[in-house]
Structure 1
Amino acid sequence: MQIGFLIFPGFPMACLTSIIEPLRAANEIVGAAVFDWHVISETGAPTTSSARVVFEPEAKLADVSDLDILFVLGAPNSVFEAPKSGNATLRRLDRHGVVLGAISGGVFPLVRAGVMTGYRCSVHWCYEAAFRSAFPDIEMTDDVISMNGRRYTVSGAASAFDLALRLIEDRLGADVAYEVACWFQHATMRGEGVQQRIPMRPSAAPDLPNLVADAVALFAEHIEHPISVAEVARAVDVTPRQVERAFKRATGQSPTHYYRGMRMKAARQLVLYSKQNMQSIAQAVGYTSATPLIAHYRVAFGVSPQEDRKQINSFRVQGNVPLPPA
């Protein structure tokens, strides 16, 4: 199986190593080069990862052929230097039967190439709001892995390892995949249909009571058009006071403040990973104007949205030109 990894500047290095290492181990276990991989960039030039480790690609994208799978690795703001030719190359590979995929933020440039129409894709939970805003017509899932036809997308580095185990199992059998998992002390082999779990702080309760969990689910469905605590209480058939007490016990916060925190996290995704102005972002998370959003944002993150965007853009530089989110 010939696998290509198309890396953009700032790609997460862990996503690359997490999928290559289990494939390498599988080759060693069976004593044969069943899996072969090639690191590729748009121009063939050295490419710096988010960890500031520089990778030397083996080829430039336009010269690639004879692949079985091509995975895209990048950040939400990753774009081709020459979008017309780069996107055309991905479409050409698709026409020639190559499976196209993406890991974590690499799903953004993959969708921009116009090859995901009609396909479902896995999106990391921290990019969901930005992805939904940028690509409202693309179906997304919070499953760790989505293998939808000839499109393989995974949410992050750990799920990239899981996908590698799936490829190993399909090609070499469950016993080899199990042995690879044991080599790396990878305790759980997750497949399709397994949803992402957002890490909890050590001090936080590992599981929310049913009442609070139901309320949080309703809040999550009403980020753009906020719902009141009274409306939530009616929906779950309790009193507003019961909702208040349940949230205080489970989270240490009132439901109103918990809800605001959810909306601020969604706002931050749009600040960091989209080009929307502050008024548009405010409306996307349920505010009629940007003024209260900016005030609540500063309380939540210690900086204004504009300062946060400027700070993250200071890490996105080619030459002397800042790269805005895209």
Structure 2
Amino acid sequence: MIEHKTISIGFLIFPGFPMACLTSMIEPLRAANEIAGLEAFSWVLLSEQGGRVMSSASVVFEAAQALTSDLPLDVLIVLSSPTAQFINERSGNGALRSLGRHGVILGSVSGGVFPLMRSGVVKEQPVSVHWCYEAAFKAEFPSVQAMSDVIVTTATCYTASGAAAAFDLALRMIEESLQAEVAHEVACWFQHPLMRGEGVQQLVPRTQMPDTGAQLPDLVARCVALFTADFETPISVADVAKETGVSPRQIERAFKKATGQSPSHYYRAIRMQAARQLVMYSKTRIADIAASVGYASAGPLETHYRAAFGCSPHEDRERINQFRVKGNVPLPSS
């Protein structure tokens, strides 16, 4: 067998972690070992206290070890929901910081970026944030560079936006540790259509657009960029028209043709999406959520929220809390 340093990876799982994100990393690493004929990668499941941990799919995993500050790891990846936190924050965050100081590359997939950032171990580095958590992440960590790339890696931090991105991150690690041919064969094993590197943007669902597969027209895309630049300070269609150098009527026609909606209704819809992210994935008070998406008070937000989602923000947060597995922290309903 060829001599090769085994890269040891710890997967730190919290109650409610996304199971697909874990298997999307482990399976390509396992396949790489098999293809290369050597143990290029090893892995261990960790939790704060060890033992059984239930995933978001209600499938239970057995964490072989508890998180400690002296684990013999090369990489540690955090997997969790955005609301996850340590039972003993001082001890858990301290362990992550100690591992980071001792040269362990720390990272996360999907919602795991939240407890990773709360630990304080990753500072002044860009991180990949899933689009559905973006508003909540920016509200909690306004000074952090939240990237829409599917994966973001630095010398000391690996982050991936979701399950498919976790597969891409694993392929990246395989390519760096073994060779591109092995990574390509692993991708073919799982019929992963392409190996997405850094700089590739996440796919984001379009708000009530016809499913044509086409990109937004340039004018509409520029208008959407202006709409989403600062939700706290609403911008009118007239102001957007001035910024883009066209008439409001031209914008109306362009949005109707591309999305089937008026620009004002499209704008409201994306503000509601941002509000719902904060309702579901942050502890922000509803009144503060209203202000963060440009409403002077909670009343109009609740009216538009109910029209968009069929329930009030309070009801939506209560509904989400019912589905949180044991160990997740309920969010306040007001």
Partners in 1 of 2:63 and 2:248 — Cα distance? 58
Deviations 1:163-203 (A, max 9, x none): 11010000111000110011111111111111112135794
Q: Give unmatched runs, 5+ long, in structure 1.
A: none
Specify whether residues 227 and 202 from structure 1 end up closer, same or farther in structure 2 by C-alpha distance, changes over 3 A only.
closer
Partners in 1 of 2:290 and 2:11 — Cα distance? 37
Q: Is the 1:116–1:138 Cα contact (8 Å) retained in structure 2? A: no
Partners in 2 of 1:84 and 1:103 — Cα distance? 22
Aligned counterpart for 2:132 among listed residues 120, 126, 129: 126
SS at the partner of 1:318? coil
Matched, 1:225 2:233: yes
Deviations 1:28-58 (A, max 9, x none): 1011111100011110020000000000011
Give the stretch that moved more between structures: 180-189 or 199-208.
Answer: 199-208
Partners in 2 of 1:145 and 1:35 — Cα distance? 20
Paired amino acid for 2:239: E
Aligned counterpart for 1:84 among listed residues 75, 79, 90: 90
Matched, 1:324 2:331: yes
- The Cα of 1:135 is off from its aligned counterpart by 0.9
Q: Give unmatched runs, 5+ long, in structure 2.
A: 1-6
Q: Is the 1:3–1:70 Cα contact (8 Å) retained in structure 2? A: yes
Matched, 1:204 2:211: yes
Aligned counterpart for 1:288 among listed residues 275, 282, 296: 296
Aligned counterpart for 1:247 among listed residues 246, 251, 255: 255
State TM-score, norm by structure 2.
Answer: 0.94
Runs of 4 or more above 6 Å deviation: none
Q: Is the 2:51–2:64 Cα contact (8 Å) retained in structure 1? A: no
- The Cα of 1:63 is off from its aligned counterpart by 6.9
Q: Is the 2:107–2:157 Cα contact (8 Å) retained in structure 1? A: yes
Partners in 2 of 1:215 and 1:203 — Cα distance? 18
What is the count of residue pairs matched by the alignment?
324
Deviations 1:281-314 (A, max 9, x none): 1100000011000000000000000000001011
1:157-168 maps to which residues of 2 (within 5 A)?
Answer: 157-168=163-174
- The Cα of 1:139 is off from its aligned counterpart by 1.6
Paired amino acid for 1:168: I
Partners in 2 of 1:262 and 1:169 — Cα distance? 38
Q: Is the 1:233–1:240 Cα contact (8 Å) retained in structure 2? A: yes
Specify whether residues 322 and 23 from structure 1 end up closer, same or farther in structure 2 by C-alpha distance, changes over 3 A only.
closer
- The Cα of 1:140 is off from its aligned counterpart by 1.3
Partners in 1 of 2:312 and 2:122 — Cα distance? 34
Aligned counterpart for 2:243 among listed residues 210, 220, 235: 235
Partners in 2 of 1:130 and 1:40 — Cα distance? 26
Partners in 2 of 1:151 and 1:57 — Cα distance? 23
Aligned counterpart for 1:301 among listed residues 274, 284, 309: 309
SS at the partner of 1:97? coil
Matched, 1:58 2:53: no
SS at the partner of 1:76? coil
Q: Is the 1:316–1:324 Cα contact (8 Å) retained in structure 2? A: no
SS at the partner of 1:47? strand
1:1-326 maps to which residues of 2 (within 5 A)?
Answer: 1-62=7-68, 65-200=71-206, 203-206=210-213, 207-318=215-326, 323-324=330-331
Deviations 1:1-42 (A, max 9, x none): 000000000000000000111000000101111110001111
Partners in 2 of 1:166 and 1:183 — Cα distance? 16
- The Cα of 1:322 is off from its aligned counterpart by 6.2
State TM-score, norm by structure 1.
Answer: 0.96
Partner of 2:3: none
